[in-house]
A and B are shown apart, each in its own frame.
Chain A
Amino acid sequence: MAIEFNGEFTVATPREDAYAVLSETQKFAPLLPSYQSHELQEDGSAVVKIKVGVGKIRGTAKVNLKLEESEAPIRARYVGKGTVMGGVFNLIATFELEDAGQGQTRVKWHGDLIMFGKLVSLAGGMIKPIAKRDIGRMVEAIQAALSGEAGVVAVPEPRVSPVAKLLALWKKLVSLVRGLLRKQK
């Protein structure tokens, strides 16, 4: 089942600031509807857990979300792949940012959601309206985040995977050694 959504909104935020939120997985992930948690991976992607439910069929979906393409401060494109209750879904979310003058930014967004599996068979016709509702909520959350509304910009601390922690530690170590070497020179 393929569902396509698009729309646009304007926020009273400079384009660079809006881009900063939309192009950082860590900030973007919590804006997904019914967000529960996310875990950053070493390749820069995030495994995001969100609550999903269609009627009595409820559970947690795991989405692997990755910023696949970005061009500051113009475009950010996420691809996601998730699993949910006997089904899977693929999503692509693209944000195009335009300067709307007076410090405002026009955000044109486009989403493609393709769902497969039992959930689609079982819940068929109910999925589209629910997806529409959830996308609406996500857009509202993005608008709020870009407008700097309280409670939204405050991104929860992500759970960092052990590998990512090691990698970060290694990077710090390398940077420290390089700094020391530069000082010695």
Chain B
Amino acid sequence: MSWVGKSLRRKEDDRLVRGNGLFADDEQIEGMLHLYILRSPYAHARIRGIDTAAAESLAGVACVLTGADIKEQCDPYMQLGPEPCDKIIDLPLATDKVVFQGEPVAAVAAETAALAMDAGQLIEVDYEMLDAVVDPEQALEDKIVLHEAAGTNRVWHSVFEYGDVDKAFEDAAHVVKIERMHFHRFASTPVENNACVAEWTRQGDVDFLCNNSFIGFAVQLLAPGLRLPMEKIRARTYDIGGSFGVKIWNYVYMALAALASRKCDGRKVKWSETRTEHLLASGHGNERTFLDTEVALDKDGVITGIRSRHIDDCGAYTRYEPLGCVIWAQVLPATYGVRNFRIDFTQTVTNKCPVVPNRGYSRMQHLWFMERVVDICAHELGIPADEMRLKNYVREFPYETPNGCVYDSGDYPMMLEKAKELIGWDEWKKKQAEARKEGRWLGIGIGTTLDSGTNNFGQAQIMNPYLPFSGNSEVCVIRLDFDGSVIVTLGTGPSGQGHETATSQVVADELNIDPAMVTVRTGFDSAWNTFSGHSGTYASQFAVTGLSAVHGACQKLKVEMRQLASFMLEADEDDLEFGVGDEGPQLAVKGTDKAINYWFMSNVVNNNNALLGGNLADVTLNVRHVYRPPFEAPDTEKKFGNLTLTYAAQLHIAVIEIDKNTCRPNILAYAAVDDCGSVINPQIAAGQVHGATAHGIGAALLETFNYDETGNLLTATFSDYCPITSMNIPDIQYGHIESPSPFSYNGAKGMGEGGGAPLHTISAAIQDALHSEGIIVNESHHSAPKVFERVNAPNREKVVSVESR
């Protein structure tokens, strides 16, 4: 029997639902100090002085850190981008100037968290307030420059051009022009905030228990920042309560806890973020503005070319950026067969919280743009939204996009058909016609999206040719323990994705045992888990990279086990079969009662090895496999190459009615169809789809980071930010199709981020409801106040024009 493909209950859930999970903030150690971070109330200000005397004199305060300590002990974090990014000085604490509200300016370690906070309030910081810039287009004028050493706010710019764009426009039957579109700022909000416990030992080693979700990367940045060799840093995780990419760069705060421990003679220091701190300064998703978009279409409504100017706002520091300036190109044409593109792409810094690779990172913004383009063109040309998509979908796979990415497999028309069936399309169309007769605003929207998984890090070289990153890899170690237990350690640090379960299913299939017989180590420990520079949980890749590493390790282990069993049982290797006997997991000789169980094999290798012959000297029953996807470095000049290995897809349909009195959009029906290739665990896949859908609906209808003109975040609590909860998620009609990937050993495609499908879908539904009112939906946020604004200021004449020849 096969375990892969079954909805095995998650192994992790037993401890998690019983409250037996171990999170970083659960760590309680006698004598541990607690860290409070004092943050700038200003979005842009010069620090003229800091007086810490009152805080330091408070009983119970162990130490205070300021920029002066940082200057002495730290080097700026490495910047990924080329000039001027490399001129940006990014340190754990601001030293001379703050550039966003919430930027740390001092830190206090004290006996209790409350005391540390009280002491922090006694620190007097003398700020000279500077004008802030929060609008990306104004930022590009460089009248206010955040990083003087960089000399400009424009941190990256390039043009992505493919095909013959000008000819596409010359030959076009229709040209649709869209003046402006805007994708708003929000972030996924993990239930667990950032946290860590740090210890700077007297031997000069630093130990972190943390919830960073990309430790392989974090350690590479932390070590030089703290002026340490990498081997001096040990970073551990256990359970992580969600990350969604947001926890990738909490190393900035981990450094502060470590420095406080150092200053306090190696006492452990815990830092645990509050929710307001999280919203203010942990990391937001990229905000993007799309200007001067022009779309060429033939007489039938097939899109033949797109040219546009995109401005990405990455907040105050570049950190993981400007990677996002290239990553969107993984999905350049979205699900459509457009061959001619010219995208002028610029990224700017502004006095807002820095961005992080939030769920759907950079591709979601571009996919929303493409969906808006398709949807607006459909409405303007009077083509039904479903027909418009069917005219434009990619149909043949593998499909090479104009920029060299290869879509592995898919069937978008079938997904549309399935989603229509789930939602009851024809019935809703009738109801919509009736509603319109009654003057009601009822719209039906389609959103098709991609979830590109398993990055080719070579795309980083398109952003900066000097970066020493390319390809991808993941690591798995599997061994038979002394008692014959099957122990697996992964290079990934899961944060709720069910890696323990999916891994057990794969191992169980390979060894023909029960998943319960497989132990997958929880969490990650840089001292014991082997990992590569790419290791981590991000970018929808575990089903491909993680499980390919697991599968490869199983093959190696099986080779050793066969060799050993063949020797011990005096049988031909081809006659052996894996399975479970009376004494547990075993290898048996087919058709006989001869068998050797795992305990016996392990004991021979580990305790009784004088029995072994010389030809078994290499058998350790402890193997490591590194999976490397077959990538080549892209052509950085032409910005051409395969940037991602697999392309999962989702297609959603929403029926929305807007209350004419309150302007509140209400979801009347919602369907989501997923295609992530061969499914490892349908329940986990469905859970990921529901989670991504919830996040997307939250982002579309509720969640937004609103800043005022001075850089004050106005939505820094859950009461203002309004994250989605179980109370406002509609019933989701869920379905899936499977188009196995030819590029992964198991046919699976990475999934989980979801590609922001609800943002596309809800925008389309609202467009459908309000197009007759002269409204073009060119924003991604649709809270009732936003819809009210739109309804009271129809924008169609200003935003869109159509030239038909």
Name A residues whose Cβ lies closer than 8 Å to a Cβ of B: 1-2, 86-88, 90, 114-118, 120-122, 124
Contacts and interface: CB of A to CB of B under 8 A. Distances in A.
Contacts of B280: 121
A87 to B, nearest CB: 5
B710 A87 contact: no
Most buried by B among A86, A88, A116: A116
B788 interface: no
A117 B709 contact: no
Given A2-B709, A116-B710, A121-B712, A86 B41 contact: yes
Contacts of A90: 129
B36 to A, nearest CB: 12
Interface stretch (B365-373, B577-585, B714-722): B714-722
B708 interface: yes
B129 A1 contact: no
Given A87-B41, A88-B42, A116-B43, A121 B709 contact: no
A120 B714 contact: yes
A118 B276 CA distance: 8
User: Could you say which interface size class chain B belongs to?
Assistant: 20 to 34
A114 B711 CA distance: 11
Contact of B101 (A2, A116, A122): A116
B734 interface: no
Contacts of A88: 41-42, 127
Contacts of B43: 116
A121 B714 contact: yes
Given A88-B42, A116-B101, A121 B129 contact: no
Contacts of B714: 1, 120-121, 124
B713 interface: yes
Given A86-B41, A88-B127, A90-B129, A118 B716 contact: yes
Contacts of B127: 88
A114 B129 CA distance: 11
Contact of A122 (B708, B710, B711, B717): B717
B133 to A, nearest CB: 14
A1 B715 contact: no
A2 to B, nearest CB: 6
Interface of B: 41-43, 101, 121, 127, 129, 276, 280, 708-717, 720
A114 to B, nearest CB: 6
Contacts of A118: 41, 276, 716
A117 B712 contact: yes
Contact of A2 (B121, B276, B708, B715): B708
11 contacts: A1-B712, A1-B714, A86-B121, A87-B41, A116-B41, A116-B101, A120-B714, A121-B280, A121-B713, A121-B716, A124-B720
A1 B720 CA distance: 15
Contacts of A86: 41, 121
Given A2-B708, A116-B101, A117-B101, A122 B42 contact: no
Q: Give the 3 A-B residue pairs with the shortest CB-CB distance, closest first.
A: A117-B41, A121-B716, A116-B41
B125 to A, nearest CB: 9
Given A116-B41, A121-B713, 8 more contacts: A1-B708, A2-B708, A87-B41, A115-B712, A118-B716, A120-B714, A121-B720, A122-B717
B101 to A, nearest CB: 7
B709 A116 contact: no
A120 B711 CA distance: 11
Contacts of A1: 708, 710, 712, 714
Nearest to A119: B41
A37 B268 CA distance: 43
Contacts of B716: 118, 121-122
Contacts of B121: 86
Most buried by B among A1, A88, A117: A117
Nearest to A85: B121
Given A118-B276, A121-B715, A2 B41 contact: no
A121 B710 contact: no
Nearest to B706: A124
B579 to A, nearest CB: 61
A117 B45 CA distance: 13
A1 B134 CA distance: 13
Contacts of A114: 129, 710
A166 to B, nearest CB: 21
B321 to A, nearest CB: 25
Contacts of A121: 276, 280, 712-717, 720
Contacts of A117: 41, 101, 712
Most buried by B among A1, A87, A90, A120: A120
Contacts of B41: 86-88, 116-118
Contacts of B720: 121, 124
A20 to B, nearest CB: 31
Contacts of A115: 712
A183 to B, nearest CB: 46
Contacts of A122: 276, 716-717
A45 to B, nearest CB: 14
Nearest to A114: B710
B15 to A, nearest CB: 36
Contacts of B42: 88, 116
A80 B727 CA distance: 45
A114 B710 CA distance: 8
Contacts of B712: 1, 115-117, 120-121
A86 B710 CA distance: 17
A117 B716 CA distance: 10
A84 B277 CA distance: 18
Contacts of A124: 714, 720
A179 to B, nearest CB: 40
A121 B129 CA distance: 19
Most buried by A among B41, B42, B121, B280: B41
A65 to B, nearest CB: 16
A117 B43 CA distance: 9
A21 to B, nearest CB: 29
B105 to A, nearest CB: 12
A2 B129 CA distance: 13
A118 B274 CA distance: 12
A118 B41 CA distance: 7
Nearest to A89: B41
Most buried by A among B101, B276, B708, B712: B712
A3 to B, nearest CB: 10
A76 B716 CA distance: 37
A118 B101 CA distance: 10
